[in-house]
Chain A
Amino acid sequence: MVGANTIQSMYEDMVTARYYEERLQEVYLEGKQPAFDISAGTIPGELHLAAGHEAAAAGVCAHLRDEDTVTAPHRPHHVAIAKGVDLPRMTAEILGRETGLCKGKGGHMHLFDPDVNFACSGIIAQGCPPAVGAAMAAQKRNEDSVAVAYLGEGAVDQGAFLESLNLAALHDLPVVFVVEDNDWAISMPVERVTDVENTAERADGFDMPGVRVDHDDAVAVYEAARDAVGRARDGNGPTLLDVQVHRRMGHFMGDAEGYRPDEDQERAQRLDAIERLADDLREHGVDDAELNEIRETAEERVEDAIEWARDQPEPAPEDAYENVFVDGTAAASGGED
């Protein structure tokens, strides 16, 4: 049984994340129409948005504390929001500003917020080993914090993931691997890249529990994650969670998805975990006026973050030479002349 307050809290995270991605899509396209030049506009570079993935973020992160570690992949915003990453500073980072989380050095695939132990890697599956390491640190220090590694279903064929499962299982480390299965590795459907239909079964080979949540229902994710995070926190070892999600916005902004059947994208639009959760809240007696208020509050929060980020200064060019080393040692050739 999941209480109304918990459902409402997840709903807040999910509508915030959805609205955030919708607004970032608009901001990203500023300066990119009609000619789509990836290096032009307010947000240059690649942008991977997570609309349709929110349940996997909210349902798991609802069990996490600030001291728990989360690593996210190239599509990180919804997880960051659910983990409590500072939204204005994250937005400033995505806009490449000096006051961004990473002083404009990281960008949207490389967000780091040590205040809530959140980190990213833009390389497929490469966030898994650091999550194992965070769990290792907790175990060695006898702390009850846990680590969660997020990855896409395309990443489960990568060595870093499989090696991490083994290392985590071997030492009963407090880590949860969360696979967000949106059926597509850019243009490659799951069935083209693996014969393993159910990713959760891969856990069997490492003697750890594997659980599939085959519809992106935040409550179902929450319940599965309660067991997984609880097991980790209690010192009983890792779990693999495989959550079905839906990719509503293409792999990256500007992906015309010419390879994807129309009905598959239509299905992603139709199956909306946020709508499903709103129904759950209505069953708990939350009326539409209250739902609207939650959405408006979330939208206001996002708008404030974007507005603040837009006002932030860009970094000075010479800042490029800082932070190669913590002690201020200059890069071997940096900053000369």
Chain B
Amino acid sequence: MTVAIDSAAVWPEDAEDVDEAVVANWFVREGGDVDAGEAVCEIQIEKVSIDVPAPATGTLVERTVAENEEFRRGDVLGRIDPD
């Protein structure tokens, strides 16, 4: 059972009227280890950058949204296989 990295969880209050964003940077490759709470990627919503923390400790098994790719609020950004 993998844990989804949910983009809606980090959506800032002052961007409630915005539904699209882009992944600016991934900090871990697929197959890499992550610790819960540490940034796995950085998303950009209307030029504001937001770090997305790992929801669990484990292995990043999938980046569902690629770097520089656009996504909509609520889209899953990636999946972590927890330890």
Contact = CB atoms under 8 A, between A and B. Distances in A.
**A–B: direct contact at CB < 8 Å:** yes
Interface of A: 33-36, 254-256, 258
21 contacts: A33-B20, A34-B18, A34-B20, A34-B21, A34-B22, A34-B45, A34-B46, A34-B70, A35-B22, A35-B44, A35-B68, A35-B70, A36-B44, A36-B46, A36-B47, A254-B47, A255-B47, A256-B46, A256-B47, A256-B48, A258-B48
Interface in B32-76: 44-48, 68, 70
A85 to B, nearest CB: 29
Contacts of B47: 36, 254-256
A34 B18 CA distance: 9
Contacts of B68: 35
A244 B46 CA distance: 29
Nearest to B15: A256
Contacts, number: 21
A255 B47 CA distance: 7
Nearest to A250: B47
B17 to A, nearest CB: 13
Majority secondary structure of chain B interface residues (helix, strand, loop or mixed): strand
Given A33-B20, A35-B70, 19 more contacts: A34-B18, A34-B20, A34-B21, A34-B22, A34-B45, A34-B46, A34-B70, A35-B22, A35-B44, A35-B68, A36-B44, A36-B46, A36-B47, A254-B47, A255-B47, A256-B46, A256-B47, A256-B48, A258-B48
Contacts of A35: 22, 44, 68, 70
A258 B46 CA distance: 12
Interface string B3-32: 000000000000000101110000000000
A99 to B, nearest CB: 31
Interface of B: 18, 20-22, 44-48, 68, 70
A126 B70 CA distance: 41
Lowest 10 A-B CB distances belong to which pairs?
A: A34-B20, A35-B22, A36-B47, A254-B47, A256-B48, A34-B70, A256-B47, A34-B22, A34-B21, A35-B70
A35 B70 CA distance: 7
Nearest to A34: B20
A335 B20 CA distance: 44
A36 B24 CA distance: 10
Nearest to B21: A34
A227 to B, nearest CB: 43
Contacts of B48: 256, 258
A258 B45 CA distance: 13
A257 B21 CA distance: 18
B72 to A, nearest CB: 9
A256 B45 CA distance: 10
Contacts of A256: 46-48
Most-contacted residue by chain B among A34, A254, A255, A256 (CB, 10 A): A34
Nearest to A253: B47
Contacts of B22: 34-35
B64 to A, nearest CB: 17
Nearest to B70: A34
A248 to B, nearest CB: 17
A33 B46 CA distance: 8
A33 B47 CA distance: 9
A43 to B, nearest CB: 15
Contacts of B45: 34
A36 B45 CA distance: 9
A127 B57 CA distance: 56
